[in-house]
Amino acid sequence: MICVSKYQHARTLLKSFFPRDQVVADQCNEKCYNDFMACNTDCTNQQCQYDCVAAYGRCGPNCPCGENCPDGCAGCQSPFCQCLDILNNGEHNYCMHRATDKQTSCISKCETDTCVLECNSGNGF
């Protein structure tokens, strides 16, 4: 038998009312995966592969609906959430690409987990 707390159930219901957070979460997770694949493709040794796996493991939890942003974009500092207000942001697609490019650039310069967290919060760029 699987037990689900009332809190988890309520959070699941809230997410069903706000599917755009899930769309943005999917985009963020896809970006994490694509970055991992590109990183891994460029590797020539095991340490590089290890670093790619570590970066991938740090990326997803900071996406909306991930471990560090369980309520979607509410309170989440992911660059993917900064562009959600489509009605007031006529350049939504540009904003999404710009946020992604900034995050990727920031993470590529990181050597520590703290740095990656800063990049994912938007504070690093």
DSSP letters of 45-100?
A: SHHHHHHHHHHHHHHGGGSTTSTT-TTTTTT---TTTTT--GGG-TTHHHHHHHHH
Query: How high is the pLDDT of residue 41?
Result: 92
Walk along the chain (125 residues) and give the pLDDT tens digit of each residue. Answer: 333 334 444 445 444 544 677 888 888 999 999 999 999 999 999 999 999 999 999 999 999 889 999 988 888 888 888 766 655 555 556 666 667 777 878 888 888 888 877 877 665 55
Q: How far apart are CA 51 and CA 70, in angstroms?
A: 25
CA–chain centroid gap for 9, Å, is 23
